[in-house]
């Protein structure tokens, strides 16, 4: 069943206003306050929508930041039932330090159609590939790159891989260099990193590595609208991680999830720029108005575009 297209515009306004709230704290070196501003704005605006919404993926659970917490119910309690995944401020360090790429992000799907991801790490891989067996978490880096080269009819030295610049990725990065693949190293923000495979203009062919599990689910909804390939595998390293997974109904802790297991049915994804990055420009304020740009997908309508809004402050 399709989600009414009216919710695209409504959710773009929700993320735009959350982005605006956080934008006032750009460069203020206070990532907690910036996160709280986005959270408070998003919660207030979602509660004004005629939906029966429930958060299945919240933010800040482990670092005790302001939360839209898992299980929280939002909306007027009238209208359709939705699973909601949020990251009101993706890239808290970007806002705190006035760096590019901060986003305000939300995904909705029909009830029970979004994977309930615990706040833990996830091994992930994405590429603009619409057939199975080309990329896979169980393949070596070399096999993934060679398969993708064949699929895209490119030499490895003409491929670009996006990966978080972290010590844990040292071996992957060294292998990519050995294969002569171009690197795009990002410091944070692996929602946008995963989405850079969606269109040629971003010049990224594959995204891989270990990042946040909730961010993986958020990105999967947009990748689904582009018929991209995505796989994720949660990494449960502590007893607390394993207990939380069990509470969420996850029994196979080593399972590899394909995209259609993470998000099914129709979905809407919105990501509004706070500070300008690869995906979208940031908030611009002039007089008593602000301009926002939001990367939007709506699977059932085939909508995939950037919505530019000018609103009163």
Q: Does residue 1 belong to any structural domain of this protein? A: no
Q: What is the pLDDT of residue 69?
A: 84
Tally of structural domains, the chain = 2
**225 & 280 share domain:** no
The mean pLDDT of the chain is 94
Domain endpoint, select from 262, 284, 299: 262
Q: Does residue 18 belong to any structural domain of this protein? A: yes
Over residues 211-268, the pLDDT tens digits come to 998 899 999 999 999 999 999 999 988 888 888 888 888 889 899 999 999 999 999 9
**70 & 90 share domain:** yes
Host domain of residue 108: 6-114+266-312
Question: Does pLDDT of 71 surpass 90?
Answer: no
Q: What is the pLDDT of residue 66?
A: 61
**46 & 104 share domain:** yes
Surface-to-core class of residue 37, CB atoms within 10 Å of its CB (0-12 exposed, 13-18 middle, 19+ buried)? buried
| CATH code for the domain in which residue 94 is found | 3.30.540.10
Q: What is the pLDDT of residue 62?
A: 45
Model confidence at 111, pLDDT cuts 50, 70, 90, reads very high
- Average pLDDT on 126-149 reads 96
**256 & 138 share domain:** yes
- Tell me what percent of the residues of the chain surpass a pLDDT of 70: 97
Question: Does pLDDT of 65 surpass 60?
Answer: no
Distance CA(120)–CA(133), nearest Å, equals 27
Q: What is the pLDDT of residue 64?
A: 52
Q: Angle CA(158)–CA(224)–CA(165) in degrees, nearest 5?
A: 50
């Amino acid at each position: 069943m399709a989600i009414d297209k009216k919710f695209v515009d409504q959710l773009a306004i929700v993320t735009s206003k959350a982005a605006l709230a956080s934008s006032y704290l750009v460069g203020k070196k206070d990532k907690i306050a910036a996160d709280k501003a986005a959270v408070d704005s998003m919660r207030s605006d979602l509660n004004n929508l005629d939906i029966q919404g429930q958060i299945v993926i919240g933010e800040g659970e482990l670092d005790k930041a302001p939360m839209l917490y898992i299980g929280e119910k939002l909306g007027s309690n009238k209208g359709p039932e939705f699973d909601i995944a949020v990251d009101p401020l993706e890239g808290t360090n970007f806002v705190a330090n006035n760096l590019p790429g901060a986003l305000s992000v939300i995904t909705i799907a029909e009830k029970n159609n979004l994977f309930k991801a615990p706040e833990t790490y996830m091994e992930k891989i994405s590429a603009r590939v619409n057939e199975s067996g080309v990329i896979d978490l169980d393949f070596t880096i070399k096999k993934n790159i060679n398969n993708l080269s064949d699929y895209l009819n490119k030499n490895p030295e003409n491929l670009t891989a996006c990966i978080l610049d972290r010590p844990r990725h040292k071996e992957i990065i060294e292998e990519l260099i050995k294969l002569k693949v171009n690197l795009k190293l990002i410091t944070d923000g692996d929602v946008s990193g995963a989405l850079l495979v969606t269109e040629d203009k971003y010049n990224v062919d594959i995204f891989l590595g270990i990042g946040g599990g909730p961010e993986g689910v958020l990105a999967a909804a947009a990748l689904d609208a582009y018929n991209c390939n995505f796989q994720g595998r949660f990494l449960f390293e502590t007893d607390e991680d394993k207990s939380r997974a069990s509470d969420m109904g996850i029994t196979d802790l080593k399972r590899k999830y394909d995209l259609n297991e993470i998000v099914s049915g129709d979905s809407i994804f919105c990501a509004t720029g706070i500070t300008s990055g690869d995906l979208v420009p940031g908030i611009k304020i002039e007089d008593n108005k602000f301009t926002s740009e939001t990367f939007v997908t709506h699977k059932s309508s085939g909508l995939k575009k950037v919505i530019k809004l000018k609103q009163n402050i």
